[in-house]
Structure 1
């Protein structure tokens, strides 16, 4: 166990920063292509690769319950929603949308390495290779979800572009679900930069931001267009 911890730390702090970059940004597409190539559809690929698949699964099943409750509390009708997921990873939330019988679902990701498998599992859904931090989004959506993605956008300018992108295609009564939110903004690893609620609020000044909800050890918020704010 100790050897495994040391080996992972060496890889995360020495080997991978050299391979993918370690300054203001990193080669995001290559990193996630390689990571999903390694883990395939396993939860570890999109989650914490420092714990077992079983531990990740338990954490995600708990998160699934919270996520579904949020949709119900917002009185959203899955069958009529037009949904966009940014950074679908291994398709965990795609599967939830399918279980909820969402008909109109589009997912984008910076790498398409898993698209063929996901398209086979969910043939009615649309999967698009796109970088939300550099390429314009199209369309209008009632629900946009960005789960476990924000911390991997370490470049501040790219994050601002992504948020403006999201705002441009969120419908007037649309809801944006965002996680994880941390207590403070800080760089953690070459591919992880935690973002605080204050950091998010600066990008959504004219929006209604919900009270944060505990979610997988961090926080989750919902964001809607409004002149009224619930977080000050």
Structure 2
């Protein structure tokens, strides 16, 4: 309960003060750089989801940890007509309802959704860059179980995570788990992994790289994004390279997108 309260207070404060790409993204790199980063994320999400064969005109979609609604917008672009979003914070849900009047939004903790989500009622669920903020392992697995219960058999689950090959990394507001740990938790929740692809390569913290490279590249990114002008220029220069890298590489030292199917 303490972990849940601290997590909610952290995100309530952060989203109340910054309901933009930097509020939900890599805050230290500034909004301008994050806008370019999220362009790459959007393209990757649309590309991968479009290959799933979902008839989104009749599908029910759930987006977990909606934040600013970035992925709600992506589902809309893909043609989804029935979208439900949920978030831990009142700061997000109140604004989301105004931004997306055709969608439904629930304020809930996905690790303890109560009876808010009907069993096997969604054809597709997304949880993008939010699970690693659940720092209690038992609550992380509980969140996956709740998602598994909400997805119909044969439905899909799209998530982004860091999927470390290196040892687990723990912080106050984020835990980067290993790929085997996450896949085991997904299996426990009733999911089979379909594929995993890079979502970003250079435009994010190099959490799964050698510590020296991680420190050097992280320092460079922070240096070139000290102002919004230099951040915008850095993002614009990296953007075409990043788009190519996420298509040609099979592994990434940072955020990856995974597609799962409910058994």
Q: How do residues 60-209 of structure 1 correspond to structure 2 at under 5 angstroms?
A: 60-136=38-114, 137-139=116-118, 140-183=121-164, 184=166, 186-205=168-187, 207-209=191-193
Q: CA distance change for structure 1 residues 185 and 38 in 2, over 3 Å: closer, same or farther?
A: farther
1:220 aligned partner:
257
1:185 CA displacement: 5.5
After the TM superposition, which of the residue ranges 180-189 and 126-135 deviates more from structure 2? 180-189
Residue 6 (structure 2) aligned to one of 2, 27, 36 = 27
Contact 1:208 1:225 in 2 (8 A): yes
Extract unaligned runs of 5+ from structure 2. Answer: 201-253
1:79 CA displacement: 1.6
Extract unaligned runs of 5+ from structure 1. Answer: 1-20, 227-232
1:191 CA displacement: 0.3
- CA-based RMSD of the aligned residues comes to 1.8
1:176 CA displacement: 0.5
After the TM superposition, which of the residue ranges 24-33 and 89-98 deviates more from structure 2? 24-33
Contact 2:87 2:109 in 1 (8 A): yes
Count residues in correspondence: 203
Give the Cα separation in 2 of the matches to 1:33 and 1:26: 10
Q: Residues 84-124 of structure 1: CA distance to partner in whole angstroms, max 9, x if unpaired?
A: 01100111111222223321110111102133332222111
Give the Cα separation in 1 of the matches to 2:33 and 2:170: 22
1:188 CA displacement: 3.7
Q: Residues 107-164 of structure 1: CA distance to partner in whole angstroms, max 9, x if unpaired?
A: 1111021333322221110111000112335221110000011110010111111111
Relative contact order, CA 8 A, sep 6+: which one is greater?
2
After the TM superposition, which of the residue ranges 60-69 and 97-106 deviates more from structure 2? 97-106
Contact 1:133 1:158 in 2 (8 A): yes
Q: CA distance change for structure 1 residues 201 and 124 in 2, over 3 Å: closer, same or farther?
A: same
Contact 1:25 1:154 in 2 (8 A): no
Q: Give the alignment's TM-score, normalised by structure 2.
A: 0.72
Secondary structure, counterpart of 1:27 in structure 2: helix
Contact 1:210 1:222 in 2 (8 A): yes
Secondary structure, counterpart of 1:50 in structure 2: helix
Secondary structure, counterpart of 2:158 in structure 1: strand
1:198 CA displacement: 0.6
Contact 2:148 2:191 in 1 (8 A): no
Secondary structure, counterpart of 2:28 in structure 1: coil
